[in-house]
A and B are shown apart, each in its own frame.
Chain A
Amino acid sequence: MDDILELETRRKIYDLISKNPGLHLSKISELLKMRISLVEYHMRYLEKHDIVTVDKKTGFSRYFLKGKVETKTKHYSILRQKTILSIIFFLIKHDTARHKDILENIDCAPSTLSYHLNKLIKYNIIEVQRYGEMRGYKIINRDEIINYLIRYKPFDLFEGFTDIWTEINI
């Protein structure tokens, strides 16, 4: 592995992803002050040599170190979506909340909220708690989520704009 990471640039990228799993190309390029094309070239090299792995579930390419990443951490990348992040912030504040309570505080349609809640349940980020006939939603691992949110930057309009255009290629 040392041979592959011999180049200082690759080591820098490796160290950055090691500290911040789930970063995307434009962010790596911005943090290392490198051209995206150069980062892309090195990422392809690192991917080919099984050093990094790419997750495209959220629609963007996010990079993780291979072997070191838990599936759960990969799933946390969905927290970068604005509505999902708002739901999580609400659940952090209120511990357990009903669909109705979340809906009153989040700006989205009931069906959209249900869709996002189901997605969060599917990824084991939240769980359903039943109180008689009532159902409440609760974050499974609150501390871990808080730690993740401290380390990662939430959705950014300008970053989102860059991501969309960067992904368009022939």
Chain B
Amino acid sequence: MDSLFNIIIYGFGMIFSFGLFIVSLFSYKNSKNKKIFFVSIILFVFFIKFILLSTSIFYPRLENILSISILSIFDLIMLALLFLAILIKS
């Protein structure tokens, strides 16, 4: 039950982050705006995080590697990039 819940959550997370990543890439292609470039990287990191989480369901060995601290690093990277995206002038 717990595993099914994880599959659904990680699956949706992966699809949404990939969709938004594609939108951000096209937006960057059109605008060449540095802010959008950072947002694209954030969404890409998000996508990678969800890929790793989804994969860990099928490869338990990966689940051991993906500790809370490793996942926190991903979050920290995303927060730092978000901060840069807000800070940077277009």
Chain A interfacial positions (CB closer than 8 Å to B): 25-26, 29-30, 35-37, 40, 157-159, 161-162, 165-166, 168-170
User: If A37-B90, A165-B85, A170-B87 touch, does A26 touch B33 (CB 8 Å cutoff)?
Assistant: yes
Residue with the highest number of chain B CB atoms closer than 10 Å, among A29, A158, A166, A169 = A158
Q: Contacts of A30 on B, CB cut-off 8 Å?
A: 30-32
- 14 A-B pairs with CB atoms under 8 Å apart are A26-B33, A26-B90, A35-B90, A37-B89, A37-B90, A158-B26, A159-B30, A159-B31, A161-B36, A165-B27, A166-B36, A166-B90, A168-B35, A169-B86
Closest Cβ of chain B to A161, distance in Å, is 4
Chain B interfacial positions (CB closer than 8 Å to A): 23-24, 26-27, 30-33, 35-36, 39, 85-87, 89-90
Pick from B27, B30, B31, B86: contact of A170, CB under 8 Å: B86
Nearest neighbor of A160 in chain B, beta-carbon distance: B27
Q: Contacts of B26 on A, CB cut-off 8 Å?
A: 158
CA distance A66 to B87 in the complex (A): 31
CA distance A170 to B35 in the complex (A): 13
Q: Contacts of A165 on B, CB cut-off 8 Å?
A: 27, 33, 35-36, 39, 85
User: If A36-B33, A166-B33 touch, does A161 touch B86 (CB 8 Å cutoff)?
Assistant: no
